[in-house]
A and B are shown apart, each in its own frame.
Chain A
Amino acid sequence: MRVRMLTAVASALTLVLSGCSGGGTGSTDGKVTLRFQSLAWQKESVDANKELVKEWNASHPGIQVQYVQGSWDSVHDQLLTSFEGGEAPDIIHDASDDLADFAYGGYLADLSELLPQRLMSDIPQRSWETTTFGKGIYGVPFLQEPRVLIANKKVLDASGVRLPTDRRPWSWEEFREVTRTLTARMGKGKYGIAWPLKEPVSATLNLGVSAGGQLFHRGDDGRVTVEFTDGDAVVPGTIHAQVNTDKSASRTTLGSGGSDTLPGFFGGKYAMVPLGFSYRQQIVQQAPEGFEWTVLPAPAGPEGPAQGVSPQTLSVAEDSPYKKEAAQFIDFMLRPENTVRLAKGDWMLPTGTRALADPALHTEKDGWATGAALARDLRSAPAQSVRGYPEWKDKVATPALQEYYSGAIDTGELKKRLVRDGNLVLARYQR
């Protein structure tokens, strides 16, 4: 018995030791190997990424790319540790709102001189602004998604309200009135809208751009301060009124994530749900047979249907010895025809103008056309390059907005917290 146990332990250790080997970036036999960490997670998206890597490897025998699967859930901590340990992937997939600290920390390569003119000129300046920190460009923004209203078509058609278009979206006042009308028509226990506001900050800030909301103001000295103007109050004020005054928005979904609202939406409990454009994939998968839904543009304000976005990005690690090769791979990945494949896989919109013009992204089916029409009005999220934003968001803005939307505090208190407490946080990052 004892001998058998010892044999088992020895076998296990042998197995373990045989599994030890290094890996990663390197050059063997004159061949460069790059590690590309992708955060693609939906099947079509993973497939598209892997196929593109395969095509690149087939046509570039001297520069091989290894596909590494990362995850959105943990990418920041994982990258931070990898950067500190000098083991970061060569090519990094992330979102632009996660890049500021990495860029200022010197972990990401400035791509200004590495990217070809074709790519630089194909992506609009407003998109480049999302990855420009100081004088450098630290990522290529390639996919983005506006927030849209996913609506129950039958309920909306029956209500008689005017349906918004990308040319003539609802104003925020009209939107409030529409949700009141829908709620009244739908009957008890049903609501015109359900706001999934588990993460209230980005939704509030990005939609607020349409009403002239900016919240973060950069002075001549480069320092950022928080100010709460009338424009900043429009979106939170509308939501607060829908929940607490009009009762046209469900109170129970305030703490929910987007996916959590879908059963109620499918069940006819809510007429509309504001969600990211890519949620359409879940709706296609999960909607019951015969359920008719449509995609409507989010309400607009004096600034038109503008919205803040944080596009998905591809960056290169500063420590990578093969920055030029990594930039070549990014250029290949983001050729218009390839970007279209990535966009379709992720149910998102490309930033590149040539890819965005592809007819496949303008079909009426599944609301592609509505989203594509909104793309021209997407711009950098207000908090994009603000150092200390993550702490402000977690410690100040999230609890303050949650309390405000639930009716626990009023607008004055919300303003006081966002501005006074927020500036204390930001000041620590700007000494």
Chain B
Amino acid sequence: MTALRTSRSGRTGQYLALLCYLVFLAFPFLWLISTAFKPARELGSLHPTWIPEDPTLDNFRQAFDEQPLLRAAGNSLVAALAAAVVAVVIATPMAYVMARNRSKLSAAATGWVVVSQAFPFVLVIIPLFLILKNLHLINSLFGLIMVYVVWSLPFALWMLVGYVRAVPRELEEAAAVDGAGRARTLLSVTAPLLAPGIVATALFAFITAWNEFFFALVMLKTPEKQTLPVVLTHFLGAEGVADLGPLAAAAFLATIPSLAIFAIIQKRITGGMLAGAVKS
């Protein structure tokens, strides 16, 4: 095995590229934070500043006064967490079967999964709406969760198939040689190696559901059920006019759960990946 060596200038270039990318990624978020703390008069300034000259919490106060943000965040959290858990519970065994049993059926299933991702929302929303209405699942978080699970399942499955394939089959065979049964092998050998993938997939399903707007808009009829993305649009007027300060404050708050979850599980994902690498 040959070690990969990079010259000092090459490494500096890489770090610079990384820094540029990070700045590019961070810019909208930092601007959002800056806007959230600016008073109305600073929002209309021809010379905008990164740090508000006269920082205020008025935008947050106004956002909470005008819209039921906490209730909406609670609805979003329930929908996103439930969708993530259910999607992963369903997708994991399916992914294992698809990854380990390579057959025409498995290939066709994978193909269908990929194709299903190409369907635009508008194509499915009306039939879906009618089906859910017949099931009395309109204006219900349960109905919305079902939609989110169905919507995120193909991609979750696709992700997990890749993770399962990355787990060396030899490890399972070695466990079998050591006398472990099928269930024991899955639980004690495969599952721990798969954990980072499962967590990453759950995170994907969570964020998809947390950010989803259109299904929630169409399905949830009463204010008590509305999710955060739907409530955020209430700060927008006709022809793109926006109540910018409160909108930025509310949007900033809306990013916090995702960031918190990322922060909590990031270590686990990285750790799990490294553990898998050593074992292979």
Contact = CB atoms under 8 A, between A and B. Distances in A.
Contacts of B133: 85-87
Contacts of B243: 41-43
B81 A12 contact: yes
B113 interface: no
A390 interface: no
Given A23-B221, A24-B222, A16 B78 contact: yes
A27 interface: no
A198 interface: yes
A42 B241 CA distance: 10
Interface string A341-362: 0000000000000000000000
Given A68-B221, A73-B236, A259 B125 contact: no
Contact of B221 (A35, A259, A278): A35
A193 to B, nearest CB: 17
Contact of B240 (A89, A257, A269, A285): A257
Given A16-B141, A17-B142, A22-B138, A67 B129 contact: no
B62 A43 contact: yes
B46 A78 contact: no
A87 B138 contact: yes
Given A16-B78, A19-B141, A22-B136, A266 B44 contact: yes
B221 A288 contact: no
A282 to B, nearest CB: 7
A3 interface: no
A16 B236 contact: no
A117 interface: no
A276 interface: yes
A13 B214 contact: no
A206 B239 CA distance: 15
A382 B138 CA distance: 38
A147 to B, nearest CB: 11
A102 B14 CA distance: 56
Contact of B218 (A19, A22, A78, A262): A78
Contacts of B217: 74, 77-78
B238 A267 contact: no
B85 interface: yes
Interface string B70-94: 0000010011011001000000000
B258 interface: no
B48 A263 contact: yes
A157 to B, nearest CB: 21
B216 to A, nearest CB: 10
Contacts of A77: 122, 214, 217-218
Contacts of A43: 62, 65-66, 243
Contacts of B62: 43
B41 A68 contact: no
B247 to A, nearest CB: 10
A52 interface: no
Interface string A261-276: 0111011010000001
B2 interface: no
A16 B142 contact: yes
A210 interface: no
A54 B61 CA distance: 24
A20 interface: yes
Given A69-B223, A266-B44, A267-B45, A19 B142 contact: yes
B234 A21 contact: no
Contacts of B122: 77
Contacts of B78: 12, 15-16, 19
Interface in B250-280: none
B85 A285 contact: no
B41 A69 contact: no
A41 B237 contact: yes
Contact of B145 (A16, A42, A73): A16
B237 A68 contact: no
Nearest to A43: B66
Interface in A38-81: 39, 41-43, 46, 66-69, 71-74, 77-78, 81
B244 interface: yes
A199 B44 contact: no
A343 to B, nearest CB: 15
B43 interface: yes
Interface in A185-205: 198-199
B167 interface: no
A346 to B, nearest CB: 9
A82 interface: yes
Interface in A279-338: 279, 282, 285-289
A262 B78 CA distance: 40
Contacts of B43: 286
A240 to B, nearest CB: 22
Contacts of A278: 237, 241
Given A78-B218, A287-B41, A276 B129 contact: no
Interface string B123-137: 001100110010011
Nearest to A72: B238
A288 B235 contact: no
B139 A23 contact: yes
- Which among A16, A69, A198 has the greatest number of chain B C-beta atoms within 10 A? A16
A147 B183 CA distance: 71
Contact of A71 (B139, B221, B233): B233
B242 interface: yes
Contacts of B214: 74, 77
Interface string A80-116: 0110111101000001000000000000000000000
B275 to A, nearest CB: 17
Contacts of B46: 263-264, 266-267, 269
Nearest to B125: A81
Contact of A20 (B44, B81, B140, B242): B140
A13 B82 CA distance: 7
B221 A24 contact: yes
Given A20-B141, A266-B45, A289-B41, A81 B218 contact: yes
A222 to B, nearest CB: 29
B223 A68 contact: yes
A9 interface: yes
The 9 residue pairs across chains A and B that have the minimum distance between CB atoms: A267-B46, A286-B44, A71-B233, A85-B129, A20-B142, A19-B141, A72-B238, A285-B40, A20-B140
7 contacts: A12-B81, A24-B139, A69-B231, A73-B236, A81-B129, A258-B240, A282-B241
